[in-house]
Amino acid sequence: MIYGFTVHNWKNFCPIEDSYSWDDSGGDSGDIIIVADGVTRDPRRMSVIPSLDKKNYKNFFEFYSHWLKFFWKYPGSRLKFWSNEKSPAFIAAKASCESFIYAVKKGSIKTVEYAISHVNETLKYLNVNNSDYLESDFFGSVLAGAALRLEEGQNVLSWGFIADCGVVVFDEKSEMIFRTPNETKQTGAYLKTIENFDWTKPEWRRFVRKSLRNKDVEGGYGVLTGEKSALDFVRFGEIELKPGYRFFLFSDGLEHIIFSDGAEHNKVSGSFIDVVNNENLHSLKGLCERRVRTEGTLVGCSIEDKL
């Protein structure tokens, strides 16, 4: 059984940037699952992003009015609830999901590796007509993708991820036996060592994109943008799953809900595992809706028996 959802904090007008998909129609490729998180691009003609620190404002009204102006101009903002406009980040995430599913079903010897490479090529094509990338950045996404297949009588999960999307596996006793690391925390740690670094300033965002993104340097990180060097940051693996096991793919927006210590360690949140054990999808989604800070996506699968 596969189930999934994206949740948003209703107090936040950030545009939708996550996407997810799965294909459980069977066949040689088995079940296919992907979660993708589009990377926020700089809005045109908006050089400065408002500060998140309320100390920089005279009062709450000034803080909120600055952010409302920002979201009003940002493409795909949920503030403009009547609009069908999609954010560039969501376009990239959705394209990533469609490309991954297609490539896994097409199949190859190393299916997940091939599929993520295919996603990167898709985003490269998407950026061909991206005339404002120097100002607003490339279309890009990070993701976690997996293919569950039957191999010599065993359920085998092949997975791949980049950056801060991830995969976590629980055994039949709801003990976590595996999780992928968050590979962006080292970037955050590095940026804290830079004096006067300010993400709200465009010159610092350009520095991060130019000097760290898809670069093999201290603080470097990966994003699928069509650049070949992005594939150096993709991680792959396989794990055998027994009946009773569960696994989840997630975007970074839910990491602090799944793990009580977020990206740092491997301690699972008690409240998360409680609702998982109750096998109540409504309660699981409700937990995520209550605690999400901006946006997050979760797709889960239970291994009931051999495929």
Q: Tell me what percent of the residues of the chain surpass a pLDDT of 90.
A: 58
Residue 140 confidence (pLDDT) above 70: yes
Tell whether the model's pLDDT for residue 62 goes beyond 70: yes
The whole-angstrom distance between residue 272's C-alpha and the CA centroid of its chain comes to: 19
Given this model, what pLDDT does residue 46 score? 59
Query: How far is C-alpha 99 from the chain's CA centre?
Result: 15
Geometric angle at alpha carbon 105, from 103 and 109, rounded to 5°: 75
pLDDT in tens, 212-251: 999 999 999 999 999 999 999 999 999 999 999 999 999 9
Of residues 212, 101, 107, 95, the one with CA closest to residue 163: 212
Rounded average pLDDT over 278-294: 90
Rounded to the nearest integer, the mean pLDDT of the chain is: 88
* DSSP conformation letters of 199-257: TTSHHHHHHHHHHTBT-SSTT-B--BSS-GGGGGGEEEEEEEE-TT-EEEEE-GGGHHH
The pair of structure tokens assigned to 264 is 């740092």
Query: How far is the C-alpha of 59 from the C-alpha of 259, rounded, in Å?
Result: 34
Domain range summary for the chain, segments of one domain joined by +: 2-302
DSSP state letters, 153-187: TEEEEEEEEETT-EEEEE-TTS-EEEE---TTHHH
pLDDT digits (tens, 9 = 90+) for 163-205: 999 999 999 999 999 999 999 999 999 999 999 998 888 788 8
Query: To which residue do tokens 């889960």 refer?
Result: 300
Encoded tokens for 179: 């999780």
52-56, 86-90, 101-105, 160-164, range with greatest mean pLDDT: 160-164
CATH number of 2-302: 3.60.40.10
Q: Is the dihedral of CA 88, 111, 27, 302 positive or negative?
A: negative
* CB-based burial label for 191 (10 Å; 0-12, 13-18, 19+): middle
Pick 281 or 172 by higher pLDDT: 172
Global confidence as pTM: 0.91
Question: Measured between alpha carbons, how far is 248 from 21 in angstroms, rounded to an integer?
Answer: 13
Give the tokens for residue 20: 């997810």
DSSP helix/strand/coil, 6? strand
Q: Can you list the alpha helix ranges (DSSP code H) found in 45-87?
A: 60-73
- The candidate with the shortest Cα–Cα distance to 124, out of 41, 221, 48, 231, is 231
pLDDT value for 281: 80
Contact 42, 137 (CB under 8 A): yes
Per-residue pLDDT tens for 246-259?
999 999 999 999 99
Give residue 75's pLDDT band: very low, low, confident or very high (50, 70, 90): confident
pLDDT at 307: 46
Classify each residue of 176-189 as buried b or exposed e, where b means 16 or more C-beta atoms within 10 Å of its C-beta. Answer: eebbbebbbeebee
Query: Residue 97 — pLDDT band, cuts 50, 70, 90?
Result: very high
Please give the angle made by the CA atoms of 157, 168 and 265, to the nearest 5 degrees.
Answer: 140
Higher-pLDDT residue of 80, 240: 240
- Using the CB atoms, write b or e for 28-43: b if 16+ within 10 Å: ebbbbbbbbbbbbbbb
